[in-house]
Amino acid sequence: MIRFLALTFFSASIAVAGCGSDDASDTDPGRDYSATIVRTTYGVPHITTDNYGDLGFGVGYAYAQDNVCLLMREIVASNGQTARYFGAEDGNPSADYVYTFYNSQEMIEQGLFQGVTDDLLEALAGYAAGFNQFLEDTGVDNLPEDCRGADWVRPITQLDMGKVIRKLILRASTDNLTGAIMAADPPSQSMAQLLPQESTPLTIRNPLPPITEMGSNGYGIGSNASQTEFGLQLGNPHFPWRGNLRFYMLHLTIPGELDAMGATITGLPIVLIGFNQNMAWSHTVSTGKRFSIYEVTLVEGDPMKYLYDGEERDIEEVPVTIEVLLEDGTVEEQTDSIYFTQYGPVFDGGALNSLLGGWPTLADTLLTYRDANLTNNRAITY
């Protein structure tokens, strides 16, 4: 049920109610949700509810009203389905393989969601329910042009929200290396037959971005240095104006428990940068990449083994299957492999330096890396 009320010239209120999904990955399948959304100047949503599940419901509904296509595209990418719906040329098959692996149901539910507060899990389930309620109320054929009538628009789940968050967490680490990971290709012959090997130039779909890509600054001024009796804070994160990292302003209230206003980004039912009645907080961007590169020496004659402290260890091959939309409109399953050492995925460093390309490199080694954020669920624990 939705009820519209004109409150003032600058604001409008909407009371939203809906039911949750029967999907097993929702924390409370079939529950009823409700939220009050008041839109003030510039369309800023002020969302008031009694609990975190309903709060997520309100955020999901409001965000879908403003960014339904943007969120749905992020859902597609987080599920490793860009090539399935947009084709190999317009999609990103390399990233699809990587996120199909890292965003499996087991990886999210037994990894990312472990240790996360019940409040946040309920908010994520509510967010999905709010998005779905908007989709039901509006209809796919009435959405903005970017996704109107698209076959990739569908109801979403709490699991989908977890995948969006995992992709966001890996933004400064694995997300930079998806092309290099899928470019890593072991030789079919023995290493002895291949050496010496010449480096072959590689075209990587997503080489490492320039270090000047993003930045930010912020100022905190104490009450004794301001022209008021209170402290002041300026948060000035240099995030983009477009895409899934664009900030979204909102005000969240659970009477007696939460009253915070500020900004969030795609898929998060919380205030990332903002203030409450007691304090203000901000973030700054670090340009550091959250992965550590290791160079391992291959065992002579066996390119699928490497040495660690004089001990031979196996390189693990993990086949991953994605779907790809072909030019004739049919969909084909395609399988490729990701290779792992004890540290993490093997990658081809040819995008960084031609001397680092190949399996093995000219130094008879292999590049691999450890992702510092892969098990970092603290990023969403509050």
Q: So which residues are the catalytic ones?
A: 216
Strands 248-254 and 258-264: antiparallel
State how far the Cα of 375 lies from the Cα of 102, in Å rounded to an integer: 11
| Nearest by Cα to 162 from 265, 78, 68 | 78
Rounded Cα distance, 57 and 28, in Å: 13
Give residue for tokens 């009371």: 15
| Alpha carbon separation from 179 to 94, 149, 202, 347, 381 (Å, rounded) | 5, 31, 10, 9, 30
- Give the integer Cα–Cα distance in Å for 121 and 376: 16
Question: How crowded is the C-beta side of 205, counted as CA atoms within 13 Å?
Answer: 15
CA proximity to 179, closest of 146, 202, 211? 202
Phi, psi dihedrals of residue 229, rounded to the nearest 5°: -90, 5
Under 8 Å CB-to-CB from 144, ≥6 apart: which residues? Answer: 68, 69
The tokens describing 46, both together, are: 């002020």
